[in-house]
Chain A
Amino acid sequence: MITAEQKPLNEIIAYISPYDRILLVGCNECVTVCSAGGRKEVGLLASALNLHFLKQGRTIDIKEMTLERQCDPEYVEELVSEIDRADAILSMACGCGVQTIAERYKEKPVFPAVNTKFMGASESQGVWVERCKGCGDCMLGITGGICPVARCSKHLLNGPCGGTSNGMCEISPDVECAWCLIWERLKALGMENRYEEIMEAKDWRPAGGGGPRKIIREDLSL
Chain B
Amino acid sequence: MTLQTKFSKEEFVILAEMNTPKGVDISDLVTNVRHLKSRIDAVVIPDMDNGVMHMSALAGGAIIRQQGLEPMIHIYGRDRNRMAIQGDMLAAHVLGIHNLLVVQGENIAHGDHQDAKLVDDLGELDLLGMVHSLLKGTDLAGFELKGKPEFFTGCQVQPIRDDDHLEEELKTAKAKVDAGAQYIMVPPVFDIAYYTQILNKFKSLNVPVIATVFMLKNVGMARYISINDPGSKLSEALITRIRKAKDRETECIHIAGEMIKELKTEVAGIKISASGWEDRLPAILDCAGL
Contacts and interface: CB of A to CB of B under 8 A. Distances in A.
A203 B107 contact: no
A8 interface: no
Contacts of B114: 205, 209-210
B118 interface: yes
A12 to B, nearest CB: 27
Contacts of B117: 202, 204, 207, 209
B109 A203 contact: no
Interface string B85-128: 00000000000000000000001110000111110000000000
Contacts of B108: 209-210
B109 A210 contact: yes
Interface string A201-217: 11111011111000000
Interface residues of B, dominant DSSP: loop
A53 to B, nearest CB: 36
A119 to B, nearest CB: 18
A195 to B, nearest CB: 23
Most chain A CB inside 10 Å of its own CB: which residue of B107, B108, B109, B117: B117
A201 B114 CA distance: 12
Most chain B CB inside 10 Å of its own CB: which residue of A202, A207, A210, A211: A210
A28 B117 CA distance: 34
A210 B108 CA distance: 7
B115 A204 contact: yes
B107 A204 contact: no
Contacts of B116: 204, 209
A111 to B, nearest CB: 24
A213 to B, nearest CB: 12
Contacts of A209: 108-109, 114-118
Contacts of A203: 115
Contacts of A205: 109, 114-115
Contacts of A204: 115-118
Interface string A185-210: 00000000000000001111101111
B88 to A, nearest CB: 22
Contacts of A210: 107-109, 114
B276 to A, nearest CB: 26
A203 B115 CA distance: 4
A203 to B, nearest CB: 4
A159 to B, nearest CB: 17
A211 B115 contact: no
B224 to A, nearest CB: 22
Contacts of B115: 201-205, 209
A208 B109 CA distance: 10
Contacts of B118: 204, 208-209
A205 B115 CA distance: 5
A93 B114 CA distance: 33
Contacts of A207: 117
Interface in B110-169: 114-118
Nearest to A207: B117
Contacts of B109: 205, 209-211
Nearest to B109: A210
A210 B109 CA distance: 5
Nearest to A203: B115
A209 B109 CA distance: 7
A205 B113 CA distance: 10
A205 B116 CA distance: 7
Nearest to B117: A204
Interface in A59-94: none
Contacts of A201: 115
A208 B108 CA distance: 11
Interface in A119-167: none
Nearest to B114: A205
Interface of B: 107-109, 114-118
Given A208-B118, A210-B109, A211-B109, 9 more contacts: A201-B115, A202-B115, A203-B115, A204-B115, A205-B109, A209-B116, A209-B118, A210-B114, A211-B107
18 contacts: A201-B115, A202-B115, A202-B117, A203-B115, A205-B114, A205-B115, A207-B117, A208-B118, A209-B108, A209-B109, A209-B116, A209-B117, A209-B118, A210-B107, A210-B108, A210-B109, A211-B107, A211-B109
Interface of A: 201-205, 207-211
Instruction: Give me the 9 closest cross-chain CB pairs, A-B, nearest first.
Output: A210-B109, A203-B115, A204-B117, A209-B118, A205-B115, A209-B108, A205-B114, A204-B115, A211-B109
